[in-house]
């Protein structure tokens, strides 16, 4: 908890003092371009791991390096995996290697008698633990070099970014809007097949009551439930419900 609070305060002060700008100017001018930047960053993280653990490096160092890598065009997923593999060495070397402390806590400090062979076994010293961690440390550093040499090991299985042509999208949207405006013309009738036919009659002319304009003729609305049954009798919902229950 204290580490997280301290890292947050450090980041805020570092941002207020324009620290990222200074670091960016320092690292972007390194010789070798992207390769020089990656070598310098991994060497820096490796030596910082002697005194800071994985958690502290993630909250203090990575937020400073990630924006610079992004501006240089480096894939952030690959860069994050690379730093994660490098920061794992913090568990394997002194003075704060947690894996060494775990092994020291279970390794015998005094001579003991083996329960199966009955022989007296020598204790495991701290220096033996340190020497035994060297092959694993070299294996971890070799993996860092392999990831730098072959980025496709990380990025090969990722989805490729989809490029969207915004101008083409804008033109398509304008075309759809124009077609919508044309189809909303009240003087045209859209018939099956996509052809528009002009509407018959004058759309602005009011119906003539004398000629029964707008009303269905007698016998023509026999099947139209909106005008009730033939004879002018209105539909009664309650009567329909009673009839259905009586049936």
Q: What pLDDT is stored for residue 221 in this prediction?
A: 45
Measured CA to CA, the distance from residue 161 to residue 149 in angstroms comes to 22
The per-residue pLDDT for range 197-219, each reduced to its tens digit, is 554 544 444 445 444 444 445 44
Q: What pLDDT is stored for residue 122 in this prediction?
A: 86
Structure pTM?
0.56
Q: What pLDDT is stored for residue 83 in this prediction?
A: 92
Domain range summary for the chain, segments of one domain joined by +: 2-155
Measured CA to CA, the distance from residue 48 to residue 172 in angstroms comes to 54
Q: What pLDDT is stored for residue 144 in this prediction?
A: 92
- Residue segments in the chain with a per-residue pLDDT below the cut of 70: 1, 3, 159, 161, 183-235, 237-238, 240-242, 244-247
Q: What pLDDT is stored for residue 73 in this prediction?
A: 87
Strand partners, 188: 198
Omega prior to 95 cis, within 30 of 0: yes
Measured CA to CA, the distance from residue 138 to residue 40 in angstroms comes to 18
Measured CA to CA, the distance from residue 19 to residue 25 in angstroms comes to 10
Measured CA to CA, the distance from residue 17 to residue 11 in angstroms comes to 10
Residue 57, number of CB atoms within 10 A of its CB? 21
């Amino acid at each position: 908890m204290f580490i997280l609070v301290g890292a947050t305060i450090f980041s805020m002060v570092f941002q207020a003092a324009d620290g990222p700008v200074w670091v960016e100017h320092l690292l972007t001018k390194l010789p070798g371009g992207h390769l020089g930047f990656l070598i310098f960053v991994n060497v820096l993280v490796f030596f910082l791991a002697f005194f800071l653990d994985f958690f502290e490096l993630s909250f203090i160092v990575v937020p400073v390096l990630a924006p610079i890598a992004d501006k240089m065009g480096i894939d952030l997923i690959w860069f994050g995996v690379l730093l994660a593999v490098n920061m794992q060495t913090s568990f394997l070397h002194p003075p704060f290697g947690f894996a060494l402390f775990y092994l020291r806590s279970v390794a015998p400090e005094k001579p003991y008698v083996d329960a199966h062979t009955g022989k007296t076994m020598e204790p495991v010293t701290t220096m033996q633990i340190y020497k035994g961690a060297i092959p694993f440390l070299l294996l971890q550093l070799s993996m860092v070099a392999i990831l730098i040499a072959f980025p496709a090991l990380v990025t090969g299985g990722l989805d490729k970014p989809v490029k969207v042509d915004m101008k083409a999208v804008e033109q398509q949207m304008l075309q759809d809007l124009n077609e919508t405006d044309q189809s909303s013309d009240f003087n045209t009738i859209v018939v099956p097949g996509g052809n528009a036919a002009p509407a018959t009659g004058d759309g602005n002319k009011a119906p003539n009551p004398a000629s029964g304009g707008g009303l269905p003729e007698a016998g023509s609305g026999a099947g139209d439930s909106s005008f009730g049954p033939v004879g002018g009798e209105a539909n009664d919902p309650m009567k329909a419900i009673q009839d259905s229950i009586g049936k």
